[in-house]
Amino acid sequence: MAIVELTIIPIGTATTSLSQYVADIQKVLEQANEPIHYEMTSMSTIIEGELDDLMTVIRRLHEVPFGHGAERVSTSIKIDDRRDKKASMEQKLKSVAEKMK
């Protein structure tokens, strides 16, 4: 399973506020048919699932600002694809918490 951190930034919008774009992206995630898990943070969205599924979802998410009139979109993607053992957002946080005891 892969974990992806994703930030999508529409460029050249009429306002500096991006919360409507973020909300619309979250709606697309909620409706995804792919077996993914996601979490919105204050600076990005984290998605976990099979890499092929994630890339399909990311492509749809990248299109959201264009659908709202943006002429340019910058999408940053960071991928953590661990294959030696099962990894998840929850497992990574637990691992760190255990080491803090």
Q: Give pLDDT tens digits for 61-84.
A: 999 999 988 999 999 999 999 888
Residue 48's alpha-carbon distances to 14, 17, 31, 45, in angstroms, are: 32, 27, 15, 10
What's this model's pTM, rounded to 2 decimal places?
Answer: 0.87
Higher-pLDDT residue of 24, 89: 24
3-state SS class at 87:
coil
Distance CA 69, CA 56 (A): 22
Tell me which residue of 53, 37, 35, 34 sits closest to 45, measured CA to CA: 37
Q: Which residue has the tokens 């697309």?
A: 28
DSSP annotation of 20: H
Tell me how far apart the alpha carbons of residues 13 and 93 are, in angstroms, rounded to a whole number: 36
Residue 20's alpha-carbon distances to 23, 42, 52, in angstroms, are 5, 14, 27
Over the chain, what is the mean pLDDT?
A: 93
Chain segment 21-31, per-residue pLDDT in tens: 999 999 999 99
